[in-house]
Amino acid sequence: MSEVVLRVENLKKSFGSVQVLRGVSFEVKRGETKVILGPSGTGKSTLLACINRLVEPDSGRVFLENEEITPKNVHRMRQKIGFVFQDFNLFNHLTALDNVRIGPMKVQKIPKEEATQIALEQLRKVGLLDKANHYPSQLSGGQKQRVAIARALAMRPKVILFDEPTSALDPELIGEVLSVMMDLAKEGMTMVVVTHELGFARNVASEILFMEDGVILERGAPDEFFSNPKTERAKQFLKKLSELYGEKPR
Ligand SMILES: Nc1ncnc2c1ncn2[C@@H]1O[C@H](COP(=O)(O)OP(=O)(O)OP(=O)(O)O)[C@@H](O)[C@H]1O
Ligand SMILES: [Mg+2]
Protein backbone atom coordinates (compact mmCIF):
# COMPACT_ATOMS: atom_id res chain seq x y z
CA MET A 1 0.00 0.00 0.00
CA SER A 2 1.47 3.29 -1.03
CA GLU A 3 1.18 6.07 1.46
CA VAL A 4 -1.21 9.00 1.36
CA VAL A 5 0.57 12.26 0.47
CA LEU A 6 -2.40 14.63 0.51
CA ARG A 7 -5.63 14.21 2.42
CA VAL A 8 -8.50 16.68 2.14
CA GLU A 9 -11.29 16.28 4.68
CA ASN A 10 -14.69 17.90 4.33
CA LEU A 11 -13.54 21.30 3.05
CA LYS A 12 -16.19 24.00 3.06
CA LYS A 13 -15.99 27.56 1.80
CA SER A 14 -18.55 30.30 1.23
CA PHE A 15 -18.11 33.68 -0.38
CA GLY A 16 -20.83 35.81 1.19
CA SER A 17 -24.05 33.87 0.93
CA VAL A 18 -22.72 31.59 -1.83
CA GLN A 19 -21.46 28.22 -0.63
CA VAL A 20 -18.78 27.32 -3.14
CA LEU A 21 -17.36 24.21 -1.44
CA ARG A 22 -19.95 22.12 0.35
CA GLY A 23 -17.81 19.41 1.89
CA VAL A 24 -15.07 18.05 -0.35
CA SER A 25 -12.97 15.05 0.70
CA PHE A 26 -10.38 13.05 -1.19
CA GLU A 27 -6.89 11.69 -0.79
CA VAL A 28 -3.94 11.34 -3.10
CA LYS A 29 -1.41 8.56 -2.68
CA ARG A 30 2.23 8.91 -3.63
CA GLY A 31 2.63 8.79 -7.40
CA GLU A 32 -1.05 9.27 -8.17
CA THR A 33 -2.50 11.86 -10.53
CA LYS A 34 -6.01 12.90 -9.63
CA VAL A 35 -7.80 14.79 -12.39
CA ILE A 36 -10.60 17.14 -11.36
CA LEU A 37 -13.22 17.77 -14.01
CA GLY A 38 -16.35 19.87 -13.74
CA PRO A 39 -18.32 22.76 -15.16
CA SER A 40 -17.26 26.38 -14.70
CA GLY A 41 -18.00 27.90 -11.32
CA THR A 42 -18.27 24.61 -9.44
CA GLY A 43 -15.41 25.42 -7.07
CA LYS A 44 -12.41 23.67 -8.65
CA SER A 45 -10.03 26.63 -8.33
CA THR A 46 -11.35 27.43 -4.87
CA LEU A 47 -10.65 23.83 -3.83
CA LEU A 48 -7.03 23.99 -4.98
CA ALA A 49 -6.57 27.40 -3.37
CA CYS A 50 -7.99 26.14 -0.06
CA ILE A 51 -5.53 23.23 -0.02
CA ASN A 52 -2.55 25.52 0.54
CA ARG A 53 -4.60 28.29 2.09
CA LEU A 54 -4.23 30.86 -0.64
CA VAL A 55 -7.91 30.98 0.26
CA GLU A 56 -8.78 30.30 3.89
CA PRO A 57 -11.43 27.54 4.12
CA ASP A 58 -14.36 27.99 6.51
CA SER A 59 -13.97 24.46 7.82
CA GLY A 60 -12.41 21.14 6.99
CA ARG A 61 -8.84 19.89 7.25
CA VAL A 62 -5.94 19.29 4.89
CA PHE A 63 -3.03 16.98 5.68
CA LEU A 64 0.26 16.73 3.83
CA GLU A 65 2.12 13.54 4.68
CA ASN A 66 0.01 13.23 7.83
CA GLU A 67 0.80 16.73 9.08
CA GLU A 68 -2.18 19.05 9.18
CA ILE A 69 -1.81 22.35 7.34
CA THR A 70 -2.82 25.11 9.72
CA PRO A 71 -2.60 28.90 9.65
CA LYS A 72 0.45 28.55 11.90
CA ASN A 73 2.54 26.24 9.74
CA VAL A 74 1.17 27.22 6.33
CA HIS A 75 4.31 29.11 5.30
CA ARG A 76 6.49 26.02 5.82
CA MET A 77 3.92 23.59 4.43
CA ARG A 78 3.26 25.66 1.31
CA GLN A 79 6.89 25.18 0.30
CA LYS A 80 6.14 21.49 -0.16
CA ILE A 81 3.18 22.09 -2.47
CA GLY A 82 3.82 23.14 -6.07
CA PHE A 83 1.17 25.29 -7.73
CA VAL A 84 0.91 25.81 -11.48
CA PHE A 85 -1.60 28.43 -12.56
CA GLN A 86 -3.49 28.98 -15.79
CA ASP A 87 -1.70 32.28 -16.43
CA PHE A 88 1.84 31.16 -15.49
CA ASN A 89 2.45 33.81 -12.79
CA LEU A 90 6.09 34.25 -13.77
CA PHE A 91 8.10 37.29 -12.69
CA ASN A 92 8.37 39.24 -15.93
CA HIS A 93 11.49 41.13 -14.86
CA LEU A 94 13.40 37.88 -14.22
CA THR A 95 14.91 35.43 -16.70
CA ALA A 96 13.67 31.85 -16.89
CA LEU A 97 16.65 30.76 -14.80
CA ASP A 98 16.00 33.41 -12.14
CA ASN A 99 12.30 32.55 -12.05
CA VAL A 100 13.22 28.93 -11.31
CA ARG A 101 16.04 29.47 -8.82
CA ILE A 102 14.48 32.30 -6.80
CA GLY A 103 12.37 29.90 -4.71
CA PRO A 104 15.22 27.60 -3.69
CA MET A 105 17.43 30.64 -2.96
CA LYS A 106 15.03 32.96 -1.16
CA VAL A 107 12.66 30.53 0.47
CA GLN A 108 14.81 27.47 1.06
CA LYS A 109 18.04 29.47 1.57
CA ILE A 110 19.97 27.20 -0.78
CA PRO A 111 23.29 28.79 -1.86
CA LYS A 112 23.22 30.41 -5.30
CA GLU A 113 25.50 27.92 -7.00
CA GLU A 114 23.52 24.91 -5.84
CA ALA A 115 20.20 26.63 -6.61
CA THR A 116 21.48 27.36 -10.10
CA GLN A 117 22.32 23.69 -10.63
CA ILE A 118 18.85 22.67 -9.41
CA ALA A 119 17.19 25.25 -11.67
CA LEU A 120 19.19 24.26 -14.75
CA GLU A 121 18.38 20.60 -14.14
CA GLN A 122 14.65 21.40 -14.01
CA LEU A 123 14.83 23.62 -17.09
CA ARG A 124 16.55 20.76 -18.89
CA LYS A 125 13.80 18.45 -17.77
CA VAL A 126 11.09 20.62 -19.34
CA GLY A 127 13.19 21.05 -22.48
CA LEU A 128 14.16 24.69 -21.98
CA LEU A 129 17.82 24.65 -21.05
CA ASP A 130 18.55 26.79 -24.12
CA LYS A 131 16.06 29.43 -22.93
CA ALA A 132 17.53 29.86 -19.44
CA ASN A 133 18.51 33.47 -20.09
CA HIS A 134 15.31 34.48 -21.83
CA TYR A 135 12.75 36.73 -20.17
CA PRO A 136 9.09 35.67 -20.14
CA SER A 137 8.31 38.22 -22.88
CA GLN A 138 10.73 36.31 -25.12
CA LEU A 139 8.97 32.99 -24.56
CA SER A 140 5.85 31.44 -26.06
CA GLY A 141 2.90 30.60 -23.79
CA GLY A 142 3.84 26.93 -23.82
CA GLN A 143 7.42 27.77 -22.90
CA LYS A 144 6.27 30.09 -20.11
CA GLN A 145 4.13 27.34 -18.67
CA ARG A 146 7.02 24.90 -18.85
CA VAL A 147 9.16 27.41 -16.93
CA ALA A 148 6.38 27.60 -14.36
CA ILE A 149 6.46 23.81 -14.03
CA ALA A 150 10.27 23.87 -13.68
CA ARG A 151 9.86 26.52 -10.98
CA ALA A 152 7.45 24.29 -9.07
CA LEU A 153 9.77 21.28 -9.46
CA ALA A 154 12.82 23.20 -8.23
CA MET A 155 11.24 23.36 -4.77
CA ARG A 156 11.11 19.54 -4.69
CA PRO A 157 7.42 19.50 -3.83
CA LYS A 158 5.56 16.53 -2.32
CA VAL A 159 2.62 17.25 -4.61
CA ILE A 160 1.92 19.67 -7.47
CA LEU A 161 -1.49 21.28 -7.97
CA PHE A 162 -2.29 22.37 -11.54
CA ASP A 163 -5.19 24.74 -12.17
CA GLU A 164 -6.09 24.54 -15.87
CA PRO A 165 -2.44 24.76 -16.94
CA THR A 166 -3.23 24.71 -20.67
CA SER A 167 -6.39 26.81 -20.80
CA ALA A 168 -4.60 30.03 -21.71
CA LEU A 169 -2.57 28.43 -24.49
CA ASP A 170 -3.06 28.38 -28.24
CA PRO A 171 -4.05 24.88 -29.34
CA GLU A 172 -0.71 24.12 -30.98
CA LEU A 173 1.13 24.82 -27.70
CA ILE A 174 -1.03 22.65 -25.44
CA GLY A 175 0.67 19.39 -26.41
CA GLU A 176 4.15 20.39 -25.25
CA VAL A 177 2.86 21.24 -21.76
CA LEU A 178 0.73 18.10 -21.47
CA SER A 179 3.69 16.04 -22.58
CA VAL A 180 5.85 17.43 -19.74
CA MET A 181 3.01 16.68 -17.30
CA MET A 182 2.67 13.14 -18.64
CA ASP A 183 6.39 12.57 -18.13
CA LEU A 184 6.08 13.81 -14.54
CA ALA A 185 3.21 11.43 -13.91
CA LYS A 186 5.21 8.54 -15.35
CA GLU A 187 8.15 9.39 -13.12
CA GLY A 188 5.88 9.13 -10.10
CA MET A 189 5.21 12.77 -9.24
CA THR A 190 2.07 13.16 -7.12
CA MET A 191 -0.32 15.55 -8.84
CA VAL A 192 -3.79 17.07 -8.68
CA VAL A 193 -4.81 18.48 -12.06
CA VAL A 194 -7.83 20.60 -12.89
CA THR A 195 -8.18 20.44 -16.67
CA HIS A 196 -10.60 20.18 -19.56
CA GLU A 197 -8.15 18.03 -21.52
CA LEU A 198 -10.05 14.78 -21.77
CA GLY A 199 -7.24 12.95 -23.55
CA PHE A 200 -4.86 13.74 -20.70
CA ALA A 201 -7.49 12.76 -18.14
CA ARG A 202 -8.19 9.48 -19.88
CA ASN A 203 -4.55 8.52 -20.33
CA VAL A 204 -2.91 9.81 -17.18
CA ALA A 205 -5.44 10.03 -14.34
CA SER A 206 -5.31 7.49 -11.53
CA GLU A 207 -8.82 8.64 -10.72
CA ILE A 208 -11.27 11.24 -12.00
CA LEU A 209 -13.02 13.49 -9.51
CA PHE A 210 -16.07 15.09 -11.11
CA MET A 211 -17.08 18.27 -9.28
CA GLU A 212 -20.48 19.85 -9.49
CA ASP A 213 -21.84 22.64 -7.35
CA GLY A 214 -19.21 22.42 -4.61
CA VAL A 215 -19.12 18.66 -4.11
CA ILE A 216 -17.46 15.68 -5.75
CA LEU A 217 -20.53 14.26 -7.44
CA GLU A 218 -18.86 11.26 -8.99
CA ARG A 219 -15.44 9.63 -8.87
CA GLY A 220 -13.91 6.69 -10.60
CA ALA A 221 -11.22 5.20 -12.78
CA PRO A 222 -10.95 7.06 -16.09
CA ASP A 223 -12.06 4.11 -18.22
CA GLU A 224 -15.15 3.68 -16.13
CA PHE A 225 -15.91 7.39 -15.89
CA PHE A 226 -15.57 8.09 -19.59
CA SER A 227 -17.30 5.02 -20.91
CA ASN A 228 -19.99 4.78 -18.30
CA PRO A 229 -20.60 7.98 -16.32
CA LYS A 230 -23.12 7.30 -13.60
CA THR A 231 -24.70 10.69 -13.08
CA GLU A 232 -26.74 12.63 -15.61
CA ARG A 233 -24.62 15.74 -14.85
CA ALA A 234 -21.38 13.95 -15.73
CA LYS A 235 -22.94 12.63 -18.94
CA GLN A 236 -24.05 16.10 -19.96
CA PHE A 237 -20.69 17.58 -19.07
CA LEU A 238 -18.73 15.04 -21.14
CA LYS A 239 -21.06 15.51 -24.07
CA LYS A 240 -20.64 19.26 -23.96
CA LEU A 241 -16.86 19.08 -23.61
CA SER A 242 -16.42 16.66 -26.47
CA GLU A 243 -18.56 18.93 -28.66
CA LEU A 244 -16.43 21.92 -27.67
CA TYR A 245 -12.95 20.44 -27.83
CA GLY A 246 -13.30 17.11 -29.58
CA GLU A 247 -12.51 13.98 -27.69
CA LYS A 248 -9.32 12.89 -29.32
CA PRO A 249 -6.48 12.22 -26.89
CA ARG A 250 -3.60 14.64 -27.30
N1 LIG B 1 -12.63 35.61 -4.06
C2 LIG B 1 -13.91 35.37 -4.40
N3 LIG B 1 -14.90 36.15 -3.97
C4 LIG B 1 -16.19 35.91 -4.26
N5 LIG B 1 -16.61 34.88 -5.01
C6 LIG B 1 -15.67 34.04 -5.48
C7 LIG B 1 -14.27 34.24 -5.20
N8 LIG B 1 -13.58 33.24 -5.80
C9 LIG B 1 -14.49 32.48 -6.42
N10 LIG B 1 -15.75 32.95 -6.23
C11 LIG B 1 -16.98 32.33 -6.74
O12 LIG B 1 -16.97 30.97 -6.35
C13 LIG B 1 -17.52 30.16 -7.38
C14 LIG B 1 -16.55 29.08 -7.75
O15 LIG B 1 -15.42 29.66 -8.35
P16 LIG B 1 -14.17 28.81 -8.82
O17 LIG B 1 -13.23 29.77 -9.44
O18 LIG B 1 -13.67 27.99 -7.70
O19 LIG B 1 -14.82 27.85 -9.92
P20 LIG B 1 -14.12 26.93 -11.00
O21 LIG B 1 -14.77 25.60 -10.88
O22 LIG B 1 -12.65 27.00 -10.85
O23 LIG B 1 -14.57 27.58 -12.38
P24 LIG B 1 -13.78 27.70 -13.80
O25 LIG B 1 -13.93 26.36 -14.47
O26 LIG B 1 -14.51 28.76 -14.54
O27 LIG B 1 -12.36 28.06 -13.50
C28 LIG B 1 -17.88 31.09 -8.52
O29 LIG B 1 -19.25 31.39 -8.43
C30 LIG B 1 -17.04 32.32 -8.25
O31 LIG B 1 -17.67 33.47 -8.74
MG1 LIG C 1 -11.09 27.66 -12.08
CATH of the domain at 190: 3.40.50.300
Has residue 205 got a pLDDT over 50? yes
Specify the ligand 1 atom closest to the Cα of 42.
21
Q: Are residues 138 and 148 in the same domain?
A: yes
Mean pLDDT of all residues in 161-183: 96
Q: Give CA–CA dist 157/134, Å, rounded.
A: 25
**Shared-domain flag, residues 122 and 167:** no
The number of domains in the chain is: 2
Return the pLDDT at 236: 94
* Residue pLDDT, tens place only, 37-63: 999 999 999 999 999 999 999 999 999
CA 230 – ligand 2 centroid, Å: 24
Percent of the chain surpassing pLDDT 70: 98
Q: Does 120 reside within a domain?
A: yes
- Are residue 122 and residue 239 in the same domain, yes or no? no
Query: Minimum-distance ligand to the CA of 38?
Result: 1
According to the model, what pLDDT value does residue 9 have? 98
- Residue 103 in contact with ligand 1 by CB distance below 6 A: no
Ligand 1 center to residue 46 CA distance, Å? 6
Whether pTM exceeds 0.85: yes
Which residue's C-alpha comes closest to atom 31 of ligand 1? Answer: 41
- Domain holding 57, by residue range, is 4-80+158-245
Residues 199 and 182 in one domain: yes
Do 240 and 183 reside in the same domain of the chain? Answer: yes
Ligand lying closest to the C-alpha of residue 46:
1
Q: Average pLDDT, whole number, for the chain? A: 95
User: In this structure, is residue 70 part of a structural domain?
Assistant: yes
